[in-house]
Chain A
Amino acid sequence: MPKVTIDGTEIDAPDGINLIQAAERAGIEIPHYCYHPGLSVVGNCRMCLVEVEKAPKLQIACNTRVADGMIVHTRSERTIRAQKAVLEFLLINHPIDCPVCDQAGECKLQDYYMDYDAQASRFPLGKKNKKGKALDVGSGVMLDQERCILCARCTRFFDEITHTSELAIFERGDHCEVDVYPGRKIDNKYAGNVVDICPVGALTEKDFRFRMRVWYLHRTPSVCAGCERGCSIDIYHHRGRIYRYKPRYNPAVNGFWMCDEGRHGFPALQGETRLTVPLVQEKDRLVAETWASALRRLASRIREFGSANGANSIGAVIGAQSTNEEAFALKRLMVDTIGSDRLATVSWSPPGASGDDELLIRANKNPNTRGLAALGLPAHGLDVLANAVAAGELKMLIVMRADLVRILGEEQFVRRFGALDYMVVLDTDANETCQMANQVLPIAAYPELEGSFTNFQGRVQRLSQAFPPPGQALPAIEALARLGHALDGGERPSSAKAVFAEMAAAESCFRGLSLEALGPNGAELAGPNP
């Protein structure tokens, strides 16, 4: 392994990495704009110029591979002069419109100016070049050509990652501008990534811009539930509301990127239809009640059906939107407490949803299909349940995170499940199935809970709670623990960590794993993979 000395610190650097990466290992920042580890090296911004001993000129760190014995100075007089020079050059034609720029607070021009320049401008304001502002270039991306520093990250993303090349650099010299081709717009499902990788305020997101100053936002690492890929994301939120998702680097799952469908998936989680109190059907109307009353009522129904018709007259449907812990908790409640093995899963994608592509998007729009399979739950089984209803064997159904009426269509639902005597729904939103339920229990959406999903590759990834669920909604594992208590008086773990530990002890696929040890990139399922 080559040994490199950066600012006096000797670093063992793996072959092939560049000086920016090597410095990072020593906790030294080499400022850069155009370099992005997910894209090719162009070396155009010149911000990462550093002094390498024995080289006559300053070298760009992004295009300089480590070599044994290399001695690098990132804070030498020459380096500092070059850094100040590049920042001065970048700012002479920049509009300095930070007060009205949505990037303010997470802008690399602002940050590096404070860290590496901090000089008054020698360039007269009135002589700045004028270019296009607030241009809608398609796919929810807004372009400000005056703020652009022409690092070509966005053009490289569309050239190298999506291969759609909608953006290009036009003109020459300081008249250069990023733009779409005449009459064309950005049209691909990954456009939002260019907003993320734009180091300045040139590309902003139409939906997000001007909605929240970024310094008010909190960031919680999580997993996108938009499809079975389960891209690692950061949830940006403020006072219980999500403002945006951004991809979080995960080399095993999504690299640096995420799709726009996933990125724009969060408004569905905070709509008008969120359930905030337990509901019970009274005279064809759903009316609110307390959790205590709801769970007492549900426990007594379960006991009644069990004693009247046997435990197998009670069944459960688990949607593949459920977390591993939720599915495990419901499975265990059904099998161990109630004594029924009538379990089915639903992994449903809406008609017309996007199919598999070559980058990230998967046709299966459920984040945890693989996790349910890993728990030994039947891949489908709705038909089996419907047959049992028809045969008069199944009387009561517990439905978690599966909108059966939407999935089957109302007519089919009524034909197959209309004969049920009692249906209880655990879900986040007042969907059509809730309208037909005898009881509805409000549960947390995934940004509001701790837990895990297993993606289609068999990688178990951790969800973190960004903020508590709305109203009286509870994480489903807590609701199920309380229900278990109401049934037999026994204590059950209600934290995701503890449920996961039980799951790891009971389920071979999860053996050896723990929620804490999943780490930021998740971990492979253990044992025999289904």
Chain B
Amino acid sequence: MERILTRWIDIPDLRHLNVYEAHGGYQALRKALFDMTPEEIINEVKASNLRGRGGAAFPTGVKWSFIPKDSKKPVYVCCNADESEPGTFANRYQLENDPHGIIEGILITCRAVGAHTCYVYLRGEFNLQKRRLDEAIAEARAKGYVGRNIMGSGFDVEIYTHRGAGAYICGEETGLLESLEGKRAYPRNRPPFPAIQGAFGCPTVVNNVETLTNVPHIIMRGADWYKSIGPEKSPGPKLFCLSGHVNKPGLYELPMGYPLKDLIYEVGGGILGGKKLKAVIPGGSSFPVFTAEEAVKVNMDFDSVRAAGSLMGTAGVMVMNEDTCMVDALRTIAHFYHHESCGQCTPCREGCGWIEKLMIDLEAGRGRMEDLDILVDVASNMEGNTICVLADSLAMPVKSFVPKFRDEFEEHVRLGRCPFRETETAGKGHAAAAAAR
């Protein structure tokens, strides 16, 4: 397949403006500025069925169309580069290698929604990535792609980059806006939605980096071309972050709907050490886990993964082999969400901590049989009862790990210790640590 979002693999130094231009760079912007009305851009993106890559899979063109056409306030575009979902590392490579692709996507989006300011919110650890993006913005500004009167069109866009300070919740759409405004990143109640009241009380579109980088290609090559890649309702090229117990972990661009089995066994080179597959989390740690039997039947697009009982999220595919202790894996996940819960809503603030405490005890062999039901019950009490979905992001793993691997949980209780701790290979092995490699 032709590489679209990861062209940098084939084009050395794509991050430099001259190279980017030599490969058709900013032609989509030119088209959007001179040959298309904002309405036409939105309609083209709507027709492409592009869906948000940040995890929620909301149709991008529809999101843009919520921006009021006659707003007396300024309209803002925010590029969400707070990539923090465990097992997810696509935006990072894009920022390093294709910053102009992001900038061009931003500029076209600004044209579509009538924004003259874009804030790029980068995660705190994205040092190199921010530098690369800042350099590219400076290059683009010098060439008249950013700033006042872009390419003589009379259209202005200023792009600001803003680094967070290391909190997962800042990647949540409205937490990001709060943080951008200089406040604690407490996610906001909706309504009002960001399209009506976003950054600084103004209409705002928040789009993920990967989403935005699809836009120039849709503009250049059209919605029909885009829809021809993968399933029609969930189309396009997709970046898969493959991690865990595979021989060739890494970032792979594949068409939407690519079989998970092939991703693991063909693209990923099979399970590390020739072991057996035990489980796969398909979309970053926030989503339900698949057993090996489930995983090999799933195609990786939003609707197919949902139909199979999980969500594709950020397409952070975490592979776990037979030596993985699923109790320890869930403990690690619980630790993460406990650490990252902003603490605003009661069920999440208290529930995440409770679940981690239960998981620590279970993994250490101090758990009780009734804890397994309490775990699921606590998760159910968290799910859907909070302002944002961080509570659900722990509830979903809990509610899938416990029933799907109940034997393992019960074994921990019966033995009074972790059965995997005897073996050399799995001594400290847990999924998230492997994924972080």
The distance in angstroms between the C-alpha atoms of A88 and B346, with both chains bound, is: 10
Quick check: is A175 within 8 A (CB to CB) of the other chain? yes
Q: Contacts of B345 on A, CB cut-off 8 Å?
A: 43-46
A-B contact count (CB 8 A): 89
Contacts of A46 in B (CB 8 A): 345-347, 385-386
In the complex, which residue of chain B has the Cβ closest to the Cβ of A63?
A: B189
**B343–A89 touching, CB < 8 Å:** no
Tell me the complex Cα distance, A123–B370, Å. Answer: 12
Q: Does B351 contact A (CB under 8 A)?
A: yes
Does A58 reach chain B (CB closer than 8 Å)?
yes
Binds A, one of B84-92, B244-252, B352-360: B352-360
Give bound CA distance, A85 to B342, whole Å: 19
Q: Is B384 an interface residue (CB 8 A)?
A: yes
**Does A171 contact B343, Cβ atoms closer than 8 Å?**
yes
| B354 and A123 form a contact (CB under 8 A) | yes
Q: Which residues of B contact A81 (CB under 8 A)?
A: 381
Mask of B370-391 contacts with A, CB within 8 angstroms, 1/0: 0000100000010011110000
| Chain B residue at smallest Cβ distance from A122 | B374
Of A47, A85, A149, A173, the contact of B352 (CB 8 Å cutoff): A173
Complex-state Cα separation, A46 to B383, whole angstroms: 12
- How many positions in chain B have a CB within 8 Å of any CB in the partner chain? 28
Complex contact A44–B350 (CB within 8 A): no
A92 to B167 CA separation, bound complex (whole angstroms): 25
Judge whether A82 is part of the interface by a CB distance below 8 angstroms. yes
In the complex, are the beta carbons of B344 and A174 less than 8 A apart? no
Least Cβ distance of A479 to chain B in Å?
57
CB-defined contacts of B343 to chain A, threshold 8 Å:
150, 169, 171-176
A93, A122, A172 — which one has the most chain B CB atoms within 10 A of its CB? A172
Taking the complex as formed, is A131 at the interface, i.e. its CB lies under 8 A from any CB of chain B? no
The listed residue with most A CB atoms (<10 A of its CB), out of B344, B352, B381, is B344
A169 to B189, CA, bound (A): 18
Choose among A169, A172, A176 the residue that contacts B339 (Cβ–Cβ < 8 A). A172
**A135 cross-chain contacts in B, Cβ below 8 A:** none
Cβ-based interface call for A41 (8 A): yes
Indicate if the CB atoms of B387 and A58 lie closer than 8 Å: no
B352 x A89 contact (CB < 8 A): no
B184 within 8 A of A: yes
Partner of A173, one of B342, B357, B386: B342
Whether B189 and A85, one on each chain, are in contact in the complex, defined by CB atoms closer than 8 angstroms, is no
Q: Indicate which residue in B338, B384, B385 contacts A174 across the interface (CB closer than 8 Å).
A: B338
A88 to B338 Cα, complex, angstroms: 17
CB <8 Å contact, B339 and A173: yes
B385–A82 contact, CB under 8 A? yes
**Inter-chain contacts of A82 with B (CB < 8 A):** 381, 385
Q: A49-B385, A123-B354 are in contact. Are A89 and B339 (CB under 8 A)?
A: no
Inter-chain contacts of B350 with A (CB < 8 A) = 89-90, 92-93, 174
Q: Write out the residue numbers on chain A whose beta carbons fall within 8 Å of the beta carbon of B346.
A: 44-47, 86, 89-90, 149-150
Q: Cβ of B381 and Cβ of A85 under 8 Å apart?
A: yes
**Interface membership of A127, Cβ < 8 A:** yes
Chain A contacts with B in 69-106, Cβ cutoff 8 A: 81-82, 85-86, 88-90, 92-93
B-chain residues with CB within 8 Å of residue A85 when the two chains form the complex: 347, 381, 385
Task: Determine whether the beta carbon of B349 is less than 8 Å from that of A176.
Answer: yes
* B139 close to A (CB within 8 Å): no
In Å, the complex CA distance between A41 and B167 comes to 24
Tell me if A164 is interfacial: C-beta within 8 Å of chain B.
Answer: no
- A173-B340, A173-B341 known; A150+B349 contact, CB < 8 A: yes
A4 at the interface (CB under 8 A from B): no
Quick check: A44 and B344 within 8 Å, CB to CB? yes
Sampled A-B contacts (9; CB under 8 Å): A43-B387, A82-B381, A85-B381, A86-B347, A149-B346, A150-B344, A169-B343, A174-B343, A175-B343
* 4 closest cross-chain pairs (CB), A and B: A85-B381, A176-B343, A89-B350, A174-B353
Besides A45-B345, A93-B353, 15 other A-B contacts (C-beta < 8 A) = A42-B186, A42-B344, A44-B186, A45-B346, A46-B345, A86-B347, A86-B385, A89-B346, A89-B349, A89-B381, A90-B346, A129-B353, A169-B343, A172-B339, A174-B341
